[in-house]
C-alpha cells in the first residue's frame, strides 16, 4: 500500500507485539513486513527494527527505537464508529490487557498510545454554525468517559 502520509509509532522494543495487537482488533489489517537491527546498530542484532502494517487499510510504521521517547496525549489515533456497538467494541478491545480509560472518549492502550473512540457523525455534531448545539454536545462529552452516542444525538436536537 502506498500513502503519502502515514503515522510512525515509536516503541521501546515492542513494536511487533503492538502491531499484532492492533491488527487483531481492526478489520482489513495485516503486518506487511518486519525488519531487524544488524551488527553495530542502536539495538542488539536481531531485535525488531521496524514493523510495517495496515490498520483497516491505513499504513502505519512501528519503530523500535529504545526508551528515549514515549507516547503522550499530544497525539492520538481516532477511531470513527457508526454505532454504539462499534464504540463499545473498540473501547473494550483497545483497553484490554492493561489499557486505561481516560475521559471524553479518550483511552490509552496497554502500550501507552492514546486513542479517541468517537461517533462517525462527530464533525456534524460539532459544526460551528450552531454554537448552542456544539455546547450541548460538548457538555455530554465532557461528562463522559466512553462516549454515549444516544446522549450525543439527543444533545443535537
% of the chain residues with pLDDT over 70: 99
The verdict on residue 23 lying in a domain is yes
How many structural domains does the chain have?
Answer: 2
CATH classification of the domain holding 88: 3.10.180.10
Same domain for 80 and 24, yes or no, is: no
Count of residues for the chain?
Answer: 157
pLDDT digits (tens, 9 = 90+) for 108-151: 999 999 999 999 999 999 998 999 999 999 999 999 999 999 99
Average per-residue pLDDT for the chain? 96
Q: What is the dihedral of CA 143, 147, 150, 152, to 10 degrees?
A: 60
Same domain for 148 and 82, yes or no, is: yes
Same domain for 89 and 147, yes or no, is: yes
- Residue 30: C-alpha distances to residues 21, 34, 35, 104, 150 (Å): 11, 12, 15, 29, 33
Q: Per the structure block, which three cell numbers stand in for 102?
A: 481516560
The verdict on residue 70 lying in a domain is no
Residue 7 has pLDDT above 70, yes or no: yes
Domain span at residue 147?
76-156
The verdict on residue 144 lying in a domain is yes
Helix runs in 83-157, H state only: 84-95, 122-125, 131-142, 149-156
Distance CA 139, CA 156 (A): 11
Residue 1 has pLDDT above 70, yes or no: no
Same domain for 59 and 80, yes or no, is: no
pTM score: 0.94
Same domain for 85 and 152, yes or no, is: yes
The verdict on residue 136 lying in a domain is yes
64 and 107 in contact (C-beta within 8 Å)?
Answer: no
Average pLDDT over residues 72-81: 97
The verdict on residue 2 lying in a domain is no
Instruction: Give the pLDDT score at 3.
Output: 77
Instruction: Give the pLDDT score at 24.
Output: 98
The verdict on residue 3 lying in a domain is no
Same domain for 86 and 130, yes or no, is: yes
CATH classification of the domain holding 43: 3.30.720.100
Same domain for 55 and 121, yes or no, is: no
Same domain for 50 and 81, yes or no, is: no
pLDDT digits (tens, 9 = 90+) for 23-38: 999 999 999 999 999 9
Same domain for 32 and 98, yes or no, is: no
pLDDT digits (tens, 9 = 90+) for 36-71: 999 999 999 999 999 999 999 999 999 999 999 999
Amino acid at each position: 500500500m502506498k500513502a503519502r502520509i502515514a503515522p510512525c509509532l515509536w516503541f521501546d522494543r515492542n513494536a511487533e507485539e503492538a502491531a499484532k495487537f492492533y491488527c487483531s482488533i481492526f478489520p482489513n489489517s495485516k503486518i506487511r513486513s518486519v525488519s531487524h537491527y544488524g551488527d553495530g546498530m542502536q539495538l542488539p542484532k536481531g531485535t525488531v527494527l521496524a514493523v510495517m502494517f495496515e490498520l483497516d487499510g491505513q499504513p502505519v510504521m512501528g519503530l523500535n527505537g529504545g526508551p528515549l521517547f514515549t507516547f503522550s496525549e499530544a497525539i492520538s489515533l481516532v477511531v470513527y464508529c457508526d454505532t454504539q456497538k462499534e464504540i463499545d467494541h473498540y473501547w473494550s478491545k483497545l483497553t484490554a490487557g492493561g489499557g486505561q480509560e481516560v475521559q471524553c472518549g479518550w483511552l490509552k492502550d496497554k502500550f501507552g498510545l492514546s486513542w479517541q473512540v468517537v461517533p462517525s457523525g462527530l464533525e456534524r455534531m460539532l459544526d460551528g454554525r450552531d454554537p448552542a448545539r456544539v455546547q450541548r454536545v460538548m457538555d455530554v462529552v465532557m461528562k463522559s468517559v466512553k462516549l454515549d452516542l444516544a446522549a450525543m444525538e439527543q444533545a443535537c436536537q
